[in-house]
Chain A
Amino acid sequence: MHQTNSKLRFRTKSVLTGWSFVLLAVILIFVFYFYPMLQALILSFQTGTGSNLTFTGFDNYSRLLSDKTFIVSVKNTFIYLLVQVPLMIILALFISVLLNDSKLRFKGFFRTAIFLPCVTSLVAYSVVFKYLFSGNGLVNTMLLKLHLVSAPIEWITDPFWAKITIIIAITWRWTGYNMIFYLSALQNIDHSIYEAAKIDGASSTRQFFGITVPLLKPIILFTSITSTIGTLQLFDEVMNITKGGPGNATQTISQYIYNLSFKYAADFGYAATVSYSIVIMIALLSVIQFKVAGDKNG
């Protein structure tokens, strides 16, 4: 009896010690993520300016569907997502496979150079890109000198090219970041697998699709989900390169939420509703990405 008692006390003590290690983090995440998340849900059913809010049921949600600015923002965000995320992932994979070649020289230099964009702040590089791509900016000057174009491209002021500029900018900033994940994973693959494939006469293309891609699938899934979440929240670049313009041609959902809350007449309720549209999109897209990755697994 005495023995079981002290054993019990020991177990309770170790359970308590375990919880005390994680408690602070758990509290902070609940206070600063889950509680505000709930607050945003409640807000999304309210309307009014500033802190004068009243409940209006699903009014905000029906307003969403006929809100042209919202629809344009969603469209823009999805154009960035569908073009940029696959482009960046393929580029990062390709570069990391080249960098993983055991005979490659200057490996450290290439790796550091391509990772370098990650050290800049989104604001700083956005401002640099804004000037590089301005009408009389360096990019146009070089394109003209090389006779690649006959007139300067309206990178920032044309609705189509402004989107391209944003896509180029994000790709520049994040490809190296994703590459590091693939490089780390590639270094964990046993070289003998490739040796065996070589003996069997598999070309490097076949090795890439037959060995590298399947083995990196968890990491590819991870990077595509984080990139998707990142792109759906795109804000800093658009705010600092194009300000969302021309018109609303480059505006993203996050920027629209910011404008609704802090630029126009502080409509927190409706802004919260718009923000929930991102929550729903992230949830849906993540489920789809998991499903797609899972199916190929068989």
Chain B
Amino acid sequence: MAKSKRFFMYLFLSIAAIVSIFPFLWMVVSSTNQSVDVTRGRLLPGTHLLENLRKLLDTTDLQLSLMNSAKISITTTLLALLIASLAGYGFEVFRSRSKDIVFNILLLSMMIPFAALMIPLYRMFGQISNVFPWMGIDTIVSVILPTVTTAFLIFFFRQSTKMFPKELLEAGRMDGLSELGIFLRIYLPTMKTTYAAGAIITFMSSWNNYLWPLIVLQTPQTKTMPLLISTLGSGYAPDYGMIMIAIVIGTIPTALVFFVMQKQFVAGMIGSVK
């Protein structure tokens, strides 16, 4: 009985793992095949990888989209970590009744659907365009600003700050460090795993963001990777091999970030759930 239970356990997990991995394998294999072979369901690697890549470079501005996505995601991640960790730390270390109320109001913003924000935000950036074109519609700033602060990340940092040893705070004060000095020199290095987990979450959601960039980025010069992939995939006679190499390239950065920081990610998540 126990043995057959073990067997079904491994069988179930293996099926789940195969189903999870299969679309990735297919996407990578297809990026090396010709379009016809992809539609025929060929599951073996082919020899058309470089040809597909060349076609992609010829028909799209891949480097530009990669650069746009990189600029947006890296800036968003750095700013988001700084803003949210300052706030999470501030809410936890300098507690007061009024601050708890403000914190709860901020949490309410997690319930606001983006669908309700997109039209006012679009009009807001339209108006900004008239005064400051560098941060209006069709700029990288307009993609970053509305997404850079999330109540979730503030909540995440506040939860993790509960685990931060308060004796270190006192020690810092005794040594005559300023409050900002304590934050930068003691808190920041101690909370590395929390920052790593926060970085993964933010980088991934920023790199993969679609709806807001779709609305606010309107010229080919500002296209991000998801926008590029979306337009490639919507054609009537799609070149499957070429699209697959675009998807593979678009997935590499988030996959890399995840694998490099996986340990910290799990540790950071556990810290926040406790």
Contacts and interface: CB of A to CB of B under 8 A. Distances in A.
A182 to B, nearest CB: 10
Contacts of B183: 21
Contacts of A180: 266, 269
Interface in A225-263: 229, 232-233, 235-236, 239-240, 243, 253-254, 257-258, 261-262
Contacts of B116: 36-37, 40, 272, 275-276, 278-279
A151 interface: no
Contact of A131 (B94, B115, B240): B240
Interface stretch (B48-56, B59-67, B131-139, B250-258): B250-258
A18 B254 contact: no
Interface residues of A, number: 89
A123 B226 contact: yes
Contacts of B274: 188
A184 B269 contact: yes
Nearest to B249: A124
Given A124-B251, A219-B273, A279 B90 contact: no
B119 A275 contact: yes
Contacts of B24: 116, 120
A33 B112 contact: yes
Interface stretch (A24-32, A59-67, A79-87, A158-166): A24-32
Interface string A129-151: 11110001110011000000000
A36 B124 contact: yes
A239 to B, nearest CB: 8
A124 B273 contact: no
A129 B23 contact: yes
Given A17-B179, A229-B113, A276-B116, A121 B106 contact: no
Interface in A1-56: 14-15, 17-22, 24-26, 28-29, 32-37, 39-40, 43, 51
B266 A124 contact: no
Contacts of B270: 184, 187-188
B21 A32 contact: no
A132 B26 contact: yes
B251 A121 contact: yes
B186 to A, nearest CB: 14
Contacts of A235: 115, 210-211
Interface string B117-158: 111111110000000000000000000011011010010000
Interface in B47-99: 83-84, 86-87, 89-91, 93-94, 96, 99
A282 B149 contact: no
Interface residues of B, number: 81
A73 to B, nearest CB: 11
A40 B120 contact: yes
Contact of B154 (A25, A116, A181): A25
B13 A18 contact: no
Contact of A36 (B16, B26, B120, B154): B120
A292 interface: no
Scoring B38, B39, B87, B119 by chain A CB atoms within 10 A of each residue's CB, the highest score goes to B119
Given A18-B96, A33-B112, A123-B208, A24 B86 contact: yes
Contact of A15 (B96, B149, B204, B233): B96
B99 to A, nearest CB: 7
B211 to A, nearest CB: 5
A127 B250 CA distance: 12
Contacts of B176: none
Contacts of A51: 123
B230 interface: yes
A51 B130 CA distance: 14
Contacts of B118: 257-258, 261, 275
Contact of A181 (B210, B225, B269): B269
Nearest to A179: B16
A155 B111 CA distance: 33
A112 B234 CA distance: 31
Given A15-B94, A278-B113, A124 B226 contact: yes
Given A128-B27, A129-B23, A272-B116, A25 B211 contact: no
A32 B9 contact: no
B174 interface: no
A89 to B, nearest CB: 15
Interface string B231-246: 0111000001001100
Contact of A124 (B17, B149, B250): B250
A125 interface: yes
Given A118-B204, A233-B113, 13 more contacts: A22-B86, A25-B86, A25-B87, A34-B112, A36-B121, A110-B17, A113-B20, A127-B232, A172-B19, A184-B269, A254-B211, A262-B215, A275-B116
10 contacts: A18-B96, A21-B94, A40-B116, A109-B17, A123-B227, A129-B23, A132-B23, A176-B20, A185-B273, A275-B115
The 5 A-B residue pairs with the shortest CB-CB distance, nearest first, are A21-B90, A18-B94, A121-B208, A25-B87, A36-B120
